[in-house]
Amino acid sequence: MRVQLPEKRYYTIGEVAKAFDVNTSLIRFWEKEFDEIKPKKNAKGNRKFTISDIEKLELIYHLVKERGFTLDGAKLHLKENKKRTLSNFEIIRKLEQVKTELVKIKNQF
């Protein structure tokens, strides 16, 4: 899954949840479960997610929602195979982008 967000420095939890088409409670839950997700918080305690946080959430989403990993399985997979997992995920994202572009070209004809 490739989320579509406007170019900004920080994103609210609502924006992130909408981009992933999930509830904000799931984002909060993943934040507690995965040490990789550490959004900044303002004085009121509102979460501010960076692009780096979004990329980590994309990877977790891919493992849990698309590949069917359990949370423990996803944590273990990230811990033991982080470099390979990130590499494979990047390849998948690039292929999805190529596919999207090819479909656009096909639809023009």
Residue 106 clears pLDDT 90, i.e. is over it: no
Residue 20 belongs to some domain of the structure? yes
Query: How many separate domains does the chain show?
Result: 1
The pLDDT, as a whole number, for residue 40 is 93
Residue 4 placed within a domain: no
Indicate whether 80 belongs to any domain.
Answer: yes
Cα dist from 15 to 3, 4, 37, 84, 85, whole Å: 11, 10, 16, 29, 26
Whole-model pTM over 0.85 = no
Q: Considering the domain boundaries, does residue 6 fall inside one?
A: no
In a domain, 5, yes or no: no
Domain of 90: which CATH number? 1.10.1660.10
If you search the block for the tokens 């406007």, which residue do you land on?
A: 6
Question: What's the domain range around 93?
Answer: 13-108
| Alpha-carbon distances, residue 47 vs 28, 55, 75 (angstroms) | 9, 16, 22
58, amino acid identity: E
What is the pLDDT at residue 93?
A: 74
Segment (H or E) for 29 = helix 24-33
Beta bridge partners of 11: 49
79 domain-assigned: yes
> And the tokens for 16?
């992130």
**Could you read off the pLDDT of 40-96 as tens digits, one per residue?**
999 999 999 999 899 889 889 988 998 899 999 988 888 876 666 666 667 777 787
Among 7-16, 84-93, 94-103, the range scoring the smallest mean pLDDT is: 84-93
In a domain, 98, yes or no: yes
The structure tokens listed for 95 are 């292929």
Crossing angle for the helix pair 13-20 and 24-33, nearest 10 degrees? Answer: 100
